[in-house]
Structure 1
Amino acid sequence: MGPVEVALFLFGGFTILILLGLPIAHALGAISLLLLLVEGIPALSVPQTIYHATDQFPLIAVPFFVLAGYLMEYGGVSQRLIDFASSLVGHITGGFASVTILACMFFAAMSGSGPATVAAIGTIMIPAMIRNGYPAPFAGAVASTGGTLGIMIPPSTPMIIYAVVGNVSVTQMFIAGIVPGILTGLVLIVASWWFCRSRGYTTRNERASLRKVASAMLAARWALLAPVIVLGGIYGGVFTPTEASIVAVNYALIVGFFVYRKLTLRSCVDAFFKAVMVGGTVTIIVGLAGVFGRLLTQYQVPQMVSQAVLDQTDNPYLILIIIAIGLIIIGTFMETLATIVLLTPILLPVCMSVGIDPIHFGILLVVTSEIGFLTPPLGANLFIAMPIANVSLEQISKAVLPYIALLCLIVLLLIMAPPLSTGLIDLFYK
C-alpha cells in the first residue's frame, strides 16, 4: 500500500473502532496489528516498538505529578487555596466565579491535570456558588473552565507527553507554558466578572483587609510553597522535571500528614490507586501509539501530509490556524493524550518545515486540548462538574459556550503572537 492507502486504513480503521466503543489503546493496537498482518510485516516489531516508546525517563513524571495533585487535594490544600483566592478577588462583582478561577490557577501549579483541578476546587466552589444564587449550570461551567488551567499551567501532563513524543525539552515546555497559562487565567477572571455583571450575578464577599489577606496567605503558605519549590527547582537546574515530581509527592505527604493533618492512610491509598490508573493508561496509550506512529513514518505519511499542506500554503500563521481548527474538532471525540501522541509525529514536521518553533506548536497543541475538556461528547471536565452541580450535559454544555469562544480567541492570539509562548525561553537560554 502507498502512503494514502495506509493513512486511510489506519485512521479510518481507528475511527471505526472508536465509534464501536473500543478503548483508545485497544483501537490503536488492533488497527496497527491488522496492517502488519495485511502487509506481511513480522509482528515481532510490536513489542520492540512498545518498549522503545515507553522506555522514556520523563514519562515517570506523569503518575507522580498526578499523585502529588491528589495528595494535595486530600490533604486539605484546596480549602486554603480557595480562602486565599477569596481574600484577593472575592469582593468584586460575581466574586465567587473569580475565586473559582483563581483557585484553579493555584491548584493547577501543583496538579498537572484538568479533571483533578475540577474535582479539587469544584467540589467546594460549585455548591458555594449555587448557595449564593448563581445558576447551577453557570457554576458548573465556571469550575469546568477553570479546570482546563490544570494542563496549561506547569507542571502539565500533556506537556510532558508532547515533550517525549516531539523530542523537545520538558523544562522548556514548562517555561513556555507560564505566560499563556497566567494570561488565560486572567482573561477567564475578567470574563467571569463581565458575565456576572451583565447577567446580574452580583453576589460577592466584603473586601478583605490587608490583614485578612496576609492571614489567608499565611494559612495557605504551605500550599503556595509547593509550586515555588517544584518549579523553582526545575527552572533553577536543581533537579529535572522527573525528579521534581518525586519531590512534589514527598512534599505533599509531609504537608498532608504533619502540617495540615488532613491526609489519612485510606485517602493515601485512594490517591496512589488513581495515580497508578493514570500512569498505566498513559503508558499503554504511548506504547501502542508508538507502533501506530512507526507505521505512519515507515510509509512516509507525515511527509505526504506535509507536502499536501505546503502545496496549498506556506504561510505559518495560516497553517497554524488550519491545524488549530482541526485539533479543536478532533478534541470533541478524542482524548487529549491520544491526540498528542497520534498527531504530533504528523503535524510537527509540517510546522517545522515552515519555521514554526516546536515549543510554540506544543503550547498551541496543549491550549487546543484545553477546549476538548469542555466539548461533549468527551469533555472530561464537564462530566466531573455535572454531578456536583446536579445539572444535565445539555445545560452545562450551553453554559460553557461563551468560555469555549473565549479560549478559541486565546488560541488565535497565541498563533499571532509567538513570543507569548517562546519569549521566556529566549530570556532563559540567551
Structure 2
Amino acid sequence: MAISSGLLILVVVLVLLAIGIPIGITLIIASIFAIIQSLGFSAAIPSSSLKMFQGINVFTLLAIPFFILAGNIMNKGGIALRLINLATAITGRVPGSLAHTNVVANMLFGSVSGSGTAAVSAMGSTMGPIQKRKGYDEDFSSAINIATAPTGFLIPPSTALITYGLASGGTSIAALFLAGIIPGILWGVACMIVAYFYARKKGYVETEKVTFKEFINVFLKSVPSLFLIVIVVAGIVMGVFTATEGAAVAVMYSLLLATVFYRSLSLKDLYEVLVSSAKLSAIIMFLIGASNILAWVMSFTGIPEMLAESVLGISQNTILIFLVLNILILLVGTFMDLTPAILIFTPILLPVSLELGMDPVQFGIMLTLALSIGTITPPVGNVLFTGLKISDRKIEKVMPHLFKFYLAIIIVLLIITYMPWFSNALPRLAGY
C-alpha cells in the first residue's frame, strides 16, 4: 500500500505543479486521490475535511499570524533604517563594511520580521543604492543581500521553527528558538567571511570612522526595536508566556513602538498592514491544513516507515546517511516553499533522524536551514527572485557571486548536521 500510495501522490503532485496549480490545492487533490485508493470514494471528502480542520484547530498556530502582523508593523514602521544604522556602526571600517552592514542588518531585521522576503526587500531597497554610490559591484551587492536574507528563518522569533515544532509533534518551541541563534549567526558570519575577501580583492575600504559617541547614539535609537526580540524570546524561554502569548505581546509592543515611540505608522499604513497580514496568514493556514491531510494519508499508508527503511538500508554509515538526507532536503527546497516543505517532510524524515541518534531539536534546525537555502536558489526561490527584482539585476549576472555564498552556507549546514553542540548548546544551557 505504501509504495502504490506514495507513487500516486508523487505523480499527482508533479503533474499538478507542472500545470501551475497552487501548492495548497495540489496537496489536497493528491491526498484525496490517495484516500480514494486506500479507503474508497465515500471516505475521501469527510476524511480530508476533518483532517484539514484538525490541522489548523491548534492554539499554538495563533502565534504565526501574530508574528506575521508584528513583523509587518515593524517593516512598515520604518524599523529597517534604524537597524541599518546600527549595523553600520557595528561593522565600522572593515573592508567591505557596507556589505557587512547588509549582512548584520538582514540578521537583525530578518529576526524581527521573521520573513526572508521582507528582509531582502527592505535591505535591498535601502542598502543597494548606498553600495552603488560607494562603487560596489551591483551584482555582488544583490548577491550578499539575497544570500543573508533567510537568516531570520533561524534567528528567533521564527515562524518556520514554530511550524516545525507543530509538525514534529510537539518539539519545544522555546528550545528551537534557542537552538536557532548560533546557526543563524554562523550563516551570517560565513557570508561575511566571503564578503571580506572579495572586498579586499576589489579594494572596497570605508574611510569614514564612526566615533564612540555616534555609536552610542545609534545604539540607543535602535534599542527599542531590538528589545522586541529580547522580550519575546526571553519570555518564552523563561516560561513567562507561551509562543502564542509571546506573539501577541510582539504585536502590542511593535504597535506601540511604531505609533507612539517612533510615530511612523499612520492609520492608512495600519490598514494596509492588517490586510496584507490577513492575506499571508490565510495562505499559510490553508497550507498547514492541506499539509495535515497529506501527513495523515502518508501516516495511514505507512509511507514514512517505508522511506525510513529505504534510507537506513543505503548504508550503515551514519555520516553517509546524513549526507544523503541533506542532499534530499536541499533538492526539495529548490522546488518547494519553506512552510509546506517543513509540514510535509518533517513526519517523513524525522523518524529517520531519530533512528540515527539525532534529537528533534537538532533535526529541526538542520531541516529549516537546508530548506531555507532553497529560498535563494532557482527555480522557485522566492527570496532570490524578490531580491533580483528589488535590485533590478539579472539572475545570470548575480549567480556567479551567489555560488561563493552557497558554498559557505552549505559548510554551515554540514557543521550543524555533524556537530550537535552548535544547535544543542543553548537549549541545554537553559535546561531543555
TM band (smaller chain) = over 0.9
Q: How does 1:61-76 map to 2 (within 5 A)?
A: 61-76=63-78
**In structure 1, how many angstroms separate the alpha carbons of the residues matched to 2:60 and 2:120?**
25
Equivalent in the alignment of 1:171: 174
Q: CA deviation at 1:215?
A: 0.9
**In structure 2, how many angstroms separate the alpha carbons of the residues matched to 1:387 and 1:300?**
43
Are the counterparts in 2 of residues 316 and 356 from structure 1 also a CA contact under 8 Å? no
Range 270-279 or range 353-362, more displaced: 270-279
Aligned counterpart for 1:251 among listed residues 228, 250, 253: 253
Equivalent in the alignment of 2:372: 370
**In structure 2, how many angstroms separate the alpha carbons of the residues matched to 1:357 and 1:315?**
18
Are the counterparts in 2 of residues 112 and 151 from structure 1 also a CA contact under 8 Å? yes
Q: CA deviation at 1:231?
A: 1.2
For 1:31, the aligned partner's letter is A
**Percent of residue pairs bearing the same amino acid type:** 31
Per the alignment, in what secondary structure is the counterpart of residue 280 of structure 1?
helix
**In structure 2, how many angstroms separate the alpha carbons of the residues matched to 1:6 and 1:201?**
58
Are the counterparts in 1 of residues 190 and 409 from structure 2 also a CA contact under 8 Å? no
Q: How does 1:377-416 map to 2 (within 5 A)?
A: 377-416=379-418
**In structure 2, how many angstroms separate the alpha carbons of the residues matched to 1:57 and 1:172?**
19
Q: CA deviation at 1:336?
A: 0.8
Per the alignment, in what secondary structure is the counterpart of residue 150 of structure 1?
helix
Q: CA deviation at 1:194?
A: 1.6
Q: How does 1:208-223 map to 2 (within 5 A)?
A: 208-223=210-225
1:230 aligns with 2:232: yes
**In structure 2, how many angstroms separate the alpha carbons of the residues matched to 1:240 and 1:201?**
49
Are the counterparts in 2 of residues 136 and 390 from structure 1 also a CA contact under 8 Å? no
TM-score by length of 2: 0.96
Q: CA deviation at 1:203?
A: 4.1
**In structure 2, how many angstroms separate the alpha carbons of the residues matched to 1:205 and 1:276?**
45
**In structure 2, how many angstroms separate the alpha carbons of the residues matched to 1:93 and 1:384?**
27
1:22 aligns with 2:25: no
Per the alignment, in what secondary structure is the counterpart of residue 312 of structure 1?
coil
Are the counterparts in 2 of residues 382 and 397 from structure 1 also a CA contact under 8 Å? no
1:192 aligns with 2:195: yes
Please give the per-residue CA displacement for 1:293-326, whole angstroms capped at 9, x wherever unaligned: 1111111111111111222224433222111111
Are the counterparts in 2 of residues 140 and 382 from structure 1 also a CA contact under 8 Å? no
Q: CA deviation at 1:205?
A: 4.8
**In structure 2, how many angstroms separate the alpha carbons of the residues matched to 1:173 and 1:205?**
41
Q: CA deviation at 1:387?
A: 2.3
**In structure 1, how many angstroms separate the alpha carbons of the residues matched to 2:109 and 2:47?**
42
Equivalent in the alignment of 1:329: 331
**In structure 2, how many angstroms separate the alpha carbons of the residues matched to 1:55 and 1:126?**
42
Are the counterparts in 2 of residues 162 and 340 from structure 1 also a CA contact under 8 Å? yes
Q: How does 1:107-118 map to 2 (within 5 A)?
A: 107-118=109-120
For 1:124, the aligned partner's letter is T
**In structure 1, how many angstroms separate the alpha carbons of the residues matched to 2:279 and 2:152?**
18
Per the alignment, in what secondary structure is the counterpart of residue 137 of structure 1?
helix
Are the counterparts in 2 of residues 133 and 203 from structure 1 also a CA contact under 8 Å? no
Are the counterparts in 2 of residues 96 and 129 from structure 1 also a CA contact under 8 Å? yes
For 1:49, the aligned partner's letter is K
Are the counterparts in 2 of residues 382 and 396 from structure 1 also a CA contact under 8 Å? no
Equivalent in the alignment of 1:420: 422
* Aligned length, in residue pairs: 428
Please give the per-residue CA displacement for 1:324-346, whole angstroms capped at 9, x wherever unaligned: 11111111111111111111111
Please give the per-residue CA displacement for 1:72-127, whole angstroms capped at 9, x wherever unaligned: 11112111111111111141111110001011111123111111111222221112
Moved over 4 A (4+): none
Are the counterparts in 1 of residues 174 and 233 from structure 2 also a CA contact under 8 Å? no
Change (3 A) 1:307 1:50: same
Are the counterparts in 2 of residues 314 and 354 from structure 1 also a CA contact under 8 Å? no
Range 115-124 or range 330-339, more displaced: 115-124
Range 357-366 or range 233-242, more displaced: 233-242
**In structure 2, how many angstroms separate the alpha carbons of the residues matched to 1:143 and 1:363?**
22
Are the counterparts in 2 of residues 90 and 205 from structure 1 also a CA contact under 8 Å? no
Please give the per-residue CA displacement for 1:205-244, whole angstroms capped at 9, x wherever unaligned: 5221111111110121211211111112112211111111
Range 211-220 or range 189-198, more displaced: 189-198
For 1:338, the aligned partner's letter is P
**In structure 1, how many angstroms separate the alpha carbons of the residues matched to 2:419 and 2:87?**
30
Residue ranges of structure 2 left out of the alignment (5+ in a row): none
Aligned counterpart for 1:180 among listed residues 183, 201, 217: 183
**In structure 1, how many angstroms separate the alpha carbons of the residues matched to 2:163 and 2:21?**
22
Q: How does 1:19-418 map to 2 (within 5 A)?
A: 19-39=18-38, 40-41=40-41, 42-43=43-44, 44-167=46-169, 168-198=171-201, 200-418=202-420
**In structure 2, how many angstroms separate the alpha carbons of the residues matched to 1:60 and 1:320?**
33
Are the counterparts in 1 of residues 89 and 215 from structure 2 also a CA contact under 8 Å? yes
**In structure 1, how many angstroms separate the alpha carbons of the residues matched to 2:112 and 2:47?**
38
Q: CA deviation at 1:201?
A: 4.5
For 2:31, the aligned partner's letter is S
Please give the per-residue CA displacement for 1:338-393, whole angstroms capped at 9, x wherever unaligned: 11111111101111122210111100011112211110111111222112211122
Are the counterparts in 2 of residues 376 and 397 from structure 1 also a CA contact under 8 Å? no
**In structure 1, how many angstroms separate the alpha carbons of the residues matched to 2:365 and 2:286?**
24
Query: What is the root-mean-square deviation of aligned Cα atoms in Å?
Result: 1.4
Are the counterparts in 2 of residues 117 and 147 from structure 1 also a CA contact under 8 Å? yes
Q: CA deviation at 1:166?
A: 0.3
For 1:285, the aligned partner's letter is L
**In structure 2, how many angstroms separate the alpha carbons of the residues matched to 1:190 and 1:214?**
26
Q: CA deviation at 1:25?
A: 0.4
Change (3 A) 1:218 1:332: same
Q: CA deviation at 1:187?
A: 2.2
Change (3 A) 1:205 1:106: farther
**In structure 2, how many angstroms separate the alpha carbons of the residues matched to 1:224 and 1:333?**
34
Range 123-132 or range 203-212, more displaced: 203-212
